[in-house]
Amino acid sequence: MPHAKVLLHFGHSGHEHAHEHACHHEHTHENAPELTPEQTLALMTYMLDHNRSHAEELHNIAHALEKQGRHEAANLVGDAVHYFGHCNDKLEEALNLVKGEN
C-alpha cells in the first residue's frame, strides 16, 4: 500500500523545503542484517560508482534524444541527470564522512 514520506532538503536559496513522495512499498527493517562498518563503506562506495555510471548513461541518452529532435524529452532527461548529480554529491559527502575525510 502506498504511503507518503516527507523528505526535507535545501533548495537553491538555502531554505529548507519539504516534499511528499509516495512510496509504493513498505520500508520494514525488522529482519534486515546489520552491516559491519566495512560492509557499509563497501556498499556506499559501490552505490556511488554505480549511480555515477547511470548518470553518464542518462547523459548520453539526453544527447541521443536531442539529435533525434526529441528536445522536450532531452530536456527532461537532462534535468534528471542534473538532480541525479545532486544526489550523488550528497552520497559522496556521506561517504567522505564515513571514511573520516570530513
Could you tell me the three cell numbers for 90? 550528497
Query: Could you identify the residue written with the cell 535545501?
Result: 10
* pLDDT tens-digit map of 30-78: 777 888 999 999 999 999 999 999 999 999 999 999 999 999 999 999 9
Which pTM was predicted?
0.63
Q: Where are the domains of the chain?
A: 35-99
Q: Higher model confidence: residue 67 or residue 18?
A: 67
Compute and round to an integer the Cα radius of gyration of the chain.
17
